[in-house]
Each structure stands twice: as C-alpha cells, then as structure tokens.
Structure 1
Amino acid sequence: MVQLMKQERHPMTFNGPLEAGMRAVAILGAAYPQTFDLQRLVAFDYLLVHTGDVGGPESLHPPSPLHSAELLVRRRLVEEALLLMMTRDLVVREISDEGFKYGAGENAAPFLTSLTTTYLVSLKERATWLVESFGGYADQQFRAVMRKFFDEWVEEFQSVERSFGGGM
C-alpha cells in the first residue's frame, strides 16, 4: 500500500494546478477586462515563464530544449488550474459566440496585490509585458506568431535529435 501511494505521487515543481493557476490569474489580471479562450491561455502560460524566448524580459524558468513538447502538455494543466482558480473567484468563465472565455474574477486584483515575493513580482511584470505585447492580437495573428516560434523550436529539437544520433 505504501509503495502504491509513493508511485502515484509525481512532483510538479512550478507545474501543478496551483502554480499554473497563479500564472493564469497574473495574465488575466494584467489583461482585465479582456478575456481569452483556453488555447490562448495555454500559449500564454508557456510564454509567461519563457519571455526571453520571444524577445521579452529574461525568462523566469530555465530554457527547455523541447519547447514544442512542453507547450503540448500544458492544456490539461491549464484547464485544471482555471477550474481551481474559479473556485476562489480569481477567474471567471464566460460563454461567448466563440466558446468559453476566461477573465479575471472579483478577487483577482486583491489577490495579485498581495503577492510580493521577488519571483511573483517578476511573474506579474512579465504577465503585463506579455499582455501588452500579444494580448491585442487577433487569433489568426497570434497563431502566426506562435507558428513562427514553433517552427524554430522544431528546428531546435531536430538539432538536439541529431546530436544524440537520431536520423535527419
């Protein structure tokens, strides 16, 4: 039984629903009253900690050689994070003609004001930069930007694969 319990625990430093939820609240707080769909928030969640990869401030998290894989696994995490933050009125979900959109909830501003550690202040600053840089992009424009970075990351992945003796 103890062995089974140990097997089920997976450390997720910076990548649990609470951490991803705090990033979502930072993004949505910086964007208020603007709202975003899940796909945009997934991309923003990645970009928020890797701003240096897209011409912004120094990244909060170390670089990852497998950017595309990291981006692809975030959807479920961001969904769980948004649901968690909705239980505390930090995030609201609205239904629009385009589907579900998420925005800052009633408690988002006071919550964000209370975050004062160096890391969280840096996170909020990067959220503001991210929203100012990409928040106004139409979906098609934003997809084009992400496609450009995704193509660069695929090339980077292929270089890593070749260095390990993979075929290309």
Structure 2
Amino acid sequence: MKNEVRDIRLFNTPVEYGLRSLFILSGIAPKAADLQRLIYYDYLVLHTADIDPEQTSLHPSYPFRSAEILIKRERLRNGLLIMKSRQLIKIQFDGGGINYAASPLTQKFLDYLTSDYANQLKSCVSFVIEKFNNYSDFELDQYMKQNLETWGSEFSREAYLRESMNYE
C-alpha cells in the first residue's frame, strides 16, 4: 500500500473560515454580503485591536498580519461552499453578483457553540458589525486600503529599533 502524505492543518482551514463566516452572516442577518466584505470582516473580527486599541483581538498580533487579506479569498470561498453544502448559508445571485446570507439553520447551529472562543468570537463580530455594517462597499474598501499597510507594522518598527541598538 502506498504511503499517503496528508495535509493536516488545524488552523486557517476552509472549515475554520466557514464557521467564522456563519457568525458574521448571522450577525448581519437578514442582510447578505459579498465575498470581499466577508474577507474584510473576517480580518477585522480576528484583529479588533487594529480598529480600536481598547479591544482585545481574537487572535494574537503578528508581523505583517495584513497580508492575511491576500490568502483569505480561496479558503473563505471553500469554507462558504462547505457551509452551503450543510444548508447553513444561502447563496444569492443578483445584478450585483454573488452574495451570502444566513439560512434558517445558521443561528440554530451557532446556538450549540458555547465555548469561550465562540463567545469571544460573537463579541468581536458584534463589535465589527456595529462599526462597519453601515459602510458602503466603497467606504469599507477605502478604510481597509488606508489601514492595511500599518497593521502589523509595529513589529517592523520594533525590529528596526532592536537592529539599530545592536550596531551602536
């Protein structure tokens, strides 16, 4: 029998992205969101301290975390398809493109998730939605573009300082 190499990842999997999307879609219901808005919301939910330093981010800060935006699209899309296959979301097609929305099962499913992480995720989603749900797609895109290059750059400044101290 041939040995198979499996790609077993715990983090940043389509299922993880899909589950976070359920929280986001439930939070904006009955509104729907396109993939780009979900990508932005997913980033903001994980890194709420980037928006407001008084908030606690769901995931730790690390250098150049804004690059996450570049890798989210495919994984998030695959996660949404997994959630759709379980009838946990609806996909809507209209003149504006493809949008995703909570299904009648979304909140019922989420009610079963009661861990500390799930509760913190709900809190972060509420914060992000309260702040950005009334932003147009253009306004949200502008906000992200204006801030992305600074998020995570505090580490590069720290590294620069350490480097300059070593050469004195």
TM-score computed with the length of structure 1 as normaliser:
0.86
Within-5 A mapping of 1:152-163 = 152-153=150-151, 155-156=153-154, 159=157
The amino acid of 1:117's aligned partner reads S
- Bigger radius of gyration, 1 or 2? 2
In structure 2, the partner of 1:27 is 24
In structure 2, the partner of 1:54 is 51
Q: Which sections of structure 1, spanning at least 5 residues, go unmatched?
A: none
2:77 to 74, 79, 87: 79
In structure 2, the partner of 1:126 is 124
Within-5 A mapping of 1:64-143 = 64-143=62-141
Alpha-carbon distance between aligned partners in 1 of 2:155 and 2:97, rounded to the nearest angstrom: 33
The amino acid of 1:74's aligned partner reads K
Q: 148-157 vs 44-53, which deviates more? A: 148-157
- Cα deviation, 1:72-131, whole Å, max 9, x if unaligned, reads 111111001100000111111101211001110121010111111111011112112211
- Cα deviation, 1:7-45, whole Å, max 9, x if unaligned, reads x414242x1111111100000001100111001101111
RMSD of equivalent CA atoms: 2.2
Contact preservation (8 Å) 1:31, 1:128:
no
Alpha-carbon distance between aligned partners in 2 of 1:49 and 1:16, rounded to the nearest angstrom: 15
In structure 1, the partner of 2:143 is 145
Q: Percent identity?
A: 32
Q: Which sections of structure 2, spanning at least 5 residues, go unmatched?
A: 164-168
Q: By how many angstroms is 1:155 displaced?
A: 5.0
SS in 1 for 2:149: helix
Larger helix percent: 1
SS in 2 for 1:73: helix
Work out whether 1:40 is the aligned partner of 2:37: yes
Q: By how many angstroms is 1:68 displaced?
A: 2.5
The count of corresponding residues between Structure 1 and Structure 2 is 161
Q: By how many angstroms is 1:58 displaced?
A: 0.6
TM-score computed with the length of structure 2 as normaliser:
0.86
SS in 1 for 2:111: helix
